[in-house]
Amino acid sequence: MHLTAFTAVCLVIYSCLHSSTVYGDDQIMVENSDCFLSVSDSDALKMPIPFTKNGKRYAIIYPDAKGSLNVKNGLSFKLSCSTSKFASNAIRQNDTAEALVTCVGNDLLLYRRETYRYADFRCDDMPKSELRVTGELCQPANYTVAAVGFRTDRAFLQLYSMCFDKSTENSLYTWYDARSPYYDNHQKNSKRPSFIKSKELYGKTDVNKKYTLKEQVIEPQRDFET
């Protein structure tokens, strides 16, 4: 009896030190902690692009070295499947490819007053980036600026941009934000993707046929005796 009373007191103290909130009609109690969002490797390629808006600027939320998204409790952000749709019928209302969610703790997100696990927001296919040729010029005002990123309902989430010479069909240099640990990591579970067939940049040239080992092998020059 004394042990039971002591245990009850401990539980009361713990509940006071670790506040929690009840969400949804199912009365799910969630500890008020930050979100650590991750999925299995098999689902990772089909997860939506997470991003936030700061004034007029949109920014992608990048995962840490272990592939986990770390989001502060109470922070609202968007998830976009871009070129795909959400796989879940409950989430894919009005055939939307975008969802405004709020971190409520652990791997749980609040969406339209209902609580879902992060994995529930899987897309029906992998979100694909696209190439855009902008109206900007570079180096110095003689070449074309092109950008690669993800298209969303209201924004273009840029991954990087490049200065491109159309006359030689070559990229001169690129701009991107260097983030640790991405600059010293290699991409897993993925083979090299195909080049985008952009008539604006490459004209009629099929870069996929040019970017092969056979095309890039340089025959050594031989010295012939005269």
Residue boundaries of the structural domains of the chain: 35-120, 129-192
pLDDT at 184 over 70: no
Q: What is the mean pLDDT of the chain?
A: 80
Q: Which pLDDT score, from 0 to 100, does residue 10 have?
A: 38
- pLDDT tens for residues 51-109? 998 888 898 998 888 889 999 999 999 999 999 999 999 898 777 899 999 999 999 99
Q: Which pLDDT score, from 0 to 100, does residue 5 have?
A: 47
Q: How many angstroms separate the CA atoms of 51 and 221, rounded?
A: 52
pLDDT at 209 over 80: yes
Please tell me which residue, 223 or 168, carries the higher pLDDT value: 168
Per mean pLDDT, which range of 54-63, 129-138, 185-194 is the poorest?
185-194
Q: Which pLDDT score, from 0 to 100, does residue 177 have?
A: 78
Q: Which pLDDT score, from 0 to 100, does residue 7 have?
A: 42
- In the chain, the DSSP E strands lie at 20-23, 28-31, 35-37, 49-54, 57-60, 69-71, 76-80, 98-105, 108-111, 114-117, 130-138, 143-151, 156-165, 170-175
- pLDDT tens for residues 10-41? 333 334 444 455 444 544 545 579 999 999 98
Neighbours of 73 (CB within 10 A): 16
Q: Which pLDDT score, from 0 to 100, does residue 186 have?
A: 58
Q: How many angstroms separate the CA atoms of 164 and 14, rounded?
A: 60
Residue 205: which pLDDT band, with cuts at 50, 70 and 90? confident
In this structure, what are the phi and psi dihedrals at residue 10, rounded to the nearest 5 degrees?
A: -60, -40
Q: Counting runs of H as helices and runs of E as strands, what totals does the chain give? A: 5, 14
Percent of the chain with pLDDT over 70: 74
Q: How many angstroms separate the CA atoms of 106 and 71, rounded?
A: 9
- Residues 121-131 have a mean pLDDT of 93
pLDDT at 157 over 50: yes
Decide: residue 36, CB within 10 A, 0-12 exposed, 13-18 middle, 19+ buried: middle
Q: 143 with 172: CB under 8 angstroms? A: yes
Q: pTM value?
A: 0.73
Tokens of 59: 């920014």
